[in-house]
Amino acid sequence: MEPFETVERDVLVIGAGGAGLRATIAVREAGLSCAVVCKSLLGKAHTVMAEGGAAAALGNMGEPDNWRVHFRDTMLGGAYLNNPRIVELFAKEAIERVLELEQYGAVFDRTPEGLISQRPFGGHTYRRLNHVGDRTGLELIRTLQDKAVSLQPDVFMEFTVTRLLKDADRVVGALAYNRQSGGFVAFRAKAVVVATGGWGRMYKYTSNSWESTGDGAAMALEAGAELLDMEMVQFHPTGMLWPPGVRGLLVTEAVRGEGGVLRNSQGERFMFRPEYTPERYRGKYAETEEEGAGWLTDKANFRRPPELLPRDEVSRAIYKEVRAGRGSEHGGIYLDVSHRGADYIRRSLPSMYEQFHALGDIDITRQPMEIYPTIHYTMGGIRVDPDTCSTTLPGLYAAGECAGGLHGANRLGGNSLTDILVFGRRAGEAAAIYASSAMQGALDEGPVSAEMDLLLRPLSATSGENPFHLAAELQEAMQQGAMIERTEAGLTACLEKVLQLRERVEHVQVEGSRAYNPGWNAARDLRFTLRISEVIVRCALARKESRGAQWRSDYPGFDPEWGRKNLVARLEGDTLHVETRPLPSMSPELQSIMEEAR
């Protein structure tokens, strides 16, 4: 058998984004030893890319905001597929977590009165996004990292975990390889927290970083945990479109929050067309451009413009405009914020100014941007208990973008940065409680050996396919078949391709050694993206309705029957099963909050 090192700690946290770092803080504050593992360098997780802000109902802007309105907005944005208890905990605790972050040292933008400044975002009734210019993720990671490092966890940077290890049903550790040396490490832990983020990389155009290959969700599924509502993949309405090399890069929603407008090739602000405002949002948005313009300076007396509808609605509208032949020069839509003036733009949206200037040679203080929807976020994920973030497997916890249940069929902007704080902490605390009374489990060398063999196979193969080519074929297939508009025929063709690629991945070959070998890394990542792609497509085929991010043009509109069901995916052997489960019920208090809106 290949040699491997063993590392033993009370708790293993896989992932050092916001969720993983907040979980690590909770574990160390409970006095337990903790190993935290990440694929890149500490501080480089996907969270660092977050721009617009973290949503929490602080009510600093003179508007009557509170957790109840945040709860309602999140349920409405999620098209009621959310787990109400998860949303309740989230909306209540987001406030404490943002204030705690400030105590840790985060320097938020300020109101003239010295309070944390909050900006408007799609689907939020009031100004609710606590922000640091358009670099909020950077500040969040910096602060959490400082706090976590001060508590001295053991950090394993540039390690990729590839398999969870079990003792009977219980998760007792994980196998990883060192990306620098190629050496193997088996982590032994009384409890494991998965905080590995989302999975945009199986699509061709995405705002996600290279790390977002769905490893944690795939490993949890393979270990026997359940995945929830995996068909719900968010298309952010505004990704960069031109030049081709940067296509998919995010253009933050803060641009529209700061007054940016969407126009088609005829100069029309098409979001004002009544057909783009769904019934449940009627009456809540401005109906004329004048009213929308008034909102910029007087939020109390004017309604917000429909460019700030939730992301699924705006993405579909853009898609339909382009399909109708009203697209921009390169097949997208124009986003224009130049009317806010150069000083204001440079101060409020410094990253956007630089991004377009450096990558597209466009001055957004004078010219419109060309945008098109891009794969951005994954609402589905590992099914967890709302209060403890425990999965269906003893000893296994999940938090952050890799977990499901909070966002339902569509996430509101800003809700992820507070999600990772609220549930990162809860997962870390619950894992620490479990680990405090558990013994270390037995580490079975059989699965360790099998996983090392699987990892090494592409390097020892004398012939075979290139993993990068297969990854490109997968991205093409998912972009074509499992995009914004989905149909039975398109999804079926996509599934066939994914299954065919799952056979071909058994025969990939990679040159070189294990040290710093991108081809070797890609070969294992590909197994994760293929596994998750199959789940996405099978769930999208199963849900025969349109809701949130799932737009089935062959089943348009909400179906009340489907509105009462979540989809759960699990493995039996290597066979994937997708089944429906009734939505969790809502407490009378939460029901009354929803009633208030009617």
Ligand X SMILES: Cc1cc2nc3c(=O)[nH]c(=O)nc-3n(C[C@H](O)[C@H](O)[C@H](O)COP(=O)(O)OP(=O)(O)OC[C@H]3O[C@@H](n4cnc5c(N)ncnc54)[C@H](O)[C@@H]3O)c2cc1C
- Total binding residues for ligand X by CB under 6 A? 44
Structure token digits, residue 72: 């309602």
User: Of 25, 28, 53, 522, which lies in the binding site for ligand X, with binding defined by CB under 6 A?
Assistant: 53
Binding to ligand X by residue 19, rule CB under 6 A? yes
- Contact between 400 and ligand X (CB under 6 A)? yes
Residue 9 makes contact with ligand X by CB under 6 A: no
- Whether 282 is catalytic is no
Q: Does 197 sit near ligand X (CB under 6 A)?
A: yes
* Of the candidate residues 12, 13, 14, 495, the single one contacting ligand X (CB under 6 A): 14
**73 and 274 in contact (C-beta within 8 Å)?**
no
Does residue 20 interact with ligand X by CB under 6 A? Answer: yes
Binding of ligand X at residue 24 (CB under 6 A)?
no
What part of residues 413-442 is at the interface with ligand X (CB under 6 A)? 413-417, 420
**Smallest gap, in angstroms, from Cβ of residue 135 to ligand X?**
10
- The CA distances from residue 296 to 72, 293, 576, in Å, are 24, 6, 49
Helix (H) / strand (E) containing 490: helix 488-504
| Residue with the two structure tokens 């949503």 | 55
Q: Among residues 46, 256, 411, 425, which one is catalytic? A: 256
287: left (phi over 0), alpha (psi -120 to 50) or beta: alpha
User: Does residue 240 interact with ligand X by CB under 6 A?
Assistant: no
Piece of the chain touching ligand X by CB under 6 A; list 350-358, 388-396, 408-416, 503-511: 408-416
Within positions 26 to 45, which residues make up the interface with ligand X, using CB under 6 A?
Answer: 37-40, 45
Least Å distance, CB 52 to ligand X, is 3
Nearer to ligand X, 176 or 578 (CB): 176
- d(CA 201, CA 205) in angstroms, rounded, equals 8
- CA–CA separation, 418 and 140 (whole Å): 10
Shorter beta-carbon distance to ligand X: residue 37 or 309: 37
Q: Which of 401, 451, 465, 534 binds ligand X (CB under 6 A)?
A: 401
- 236: annotated active-site residue: yes
Question: Site for ligand X (CB under 6 A): which residue of 9, 23, 25, 46?
Answer: 46
As measured in angstroms, the least distance from the Cβ of 265 to ligand X is: 27
Q: Is residue 50 near ligand X by the rule CB under 6 A? A: yes
Preceding peptide of 368 cis, ω within 30°: no
Question: Out of 88, 93, 139, 211, which residue is the one contacting ligand X (CB under 6 A)?
Answer: 211
> Per CB under 6 A, does 193 bind ligand X?
no
Stretch that binds ligand X, among 203-211, 239-247, 366-374, 562-570 (CB under 6 A): 203-211
For 477-481, which contacts have Cβ atoms below 8 Å and span 24 or more sequence positions? 477/501, 478/202, 478/203, 478/204, 478/533, 478/536, 478/537, 479/203, 479/204, 479/205, 481/537
Please state, in angstroms and as integers, the Cα–Cα distance from residue 474 to each residue in 201, 490, 541, 550, following that order. Answer: 10, 14, 18, 20
| Token pair in block for residue 589 | 């208090």
Of 14, 418, 324, residue with least CA distance to 185:
14
What 3-state class would DSSP assign to 566? Answer: strand
C-alpha pair distances (Å), 442 with each of 32, 173, 434: 20, 9, 17
Out of 43, 52, 122, 404, the only residue in the binding site for ligand X (CB under 6 A) is: 52
Cα distances (angstroms) measured from residue 577 to each of 30, 184, 208, 228, 574: 38, 32, 28, 12, 10
Question: Contact region for ligand X (CB under 6 A) — 112-120, 207-215, 332-340, 484-492?
Answer: 207-215
Could you tell me which of 208, 231, 522 has the C-alpha nearest to residue 379?
231
Of the residues 65, 88, 93, 215, which one makes contact with ligand X according to CB under 6 A: 215
Of positions 49, 116, 369, 522, contacts ligand X by CB under 6 A: 49
For 538-562, b/e burial (b = at least 16 CB within 10 A) is bbbbbbebbbbbbbbeebeebbeeb
Question: Of these, 130, 207, 374, 410, which contacts ligand X (CB under 6 A)?
Answer: 207
Asked if 386 contacts 83 with a C-beta cutoff of 8 angstroms, the reply is yes
**Site membership for ligand X, residue 125 (CB under 6 A):** no
| Beta strand 170-178 pairing with 159-167 | antiparallel
Site string for ligand X, 532-561 (x = CB under 6 A): ------------------------------
- Listing DSSP states for 375-423 in one string gives EEEE--EE---TTT-B-SSTTEEE-GGGB-SSSTTSPPTTHHHHHHHHH
CB of 589 vs ligand X, minimal distance in Å: 26
Question: Which CB atom, from 57 or from 495, has the smaller least distance to ligand X?
Answer: 57
**Length in residues, the chain:** 598
For residue 593, state whether it binds ligand X (rule: CB under 6 A): no
Terminal alpha carbon distance of the chain = 64
Cβ proximity to ligand X, 53 vs 380, nearer residue: 53
Candidate ranges 50-58, 93-101, 344-352, 544-552; the one touching ligand X (CB under 6 A):
50-58
Q: Are 375 and 208 in contact (CB under 8 A)?
A: yes
We find the least distance from the C-beta atom of residue 354 to ligand X, in angstroms, to be 14
d(CA 590, CA 176): 43
Nearer to ligand X, 218 or 541 (CB): 218
- Return the biggest CA–CA distance within the chain: 72
Q: How far is the CB of 526 from ligand X (least distance, A)?
A: 13
Q: Which of 97, 119, 163, 236 is an active site residue? A: 236
Residues forming contacts to ligand X in the complex (CB under 6 A) are 14-20, 37-40, 45-47, 49-54, 136-137, 159-161, 195-198, 207-208, 211, 215-216, 250, 377, 400-401, 413-417, 420
Residues with a catalytic annotation lie at 236, 256
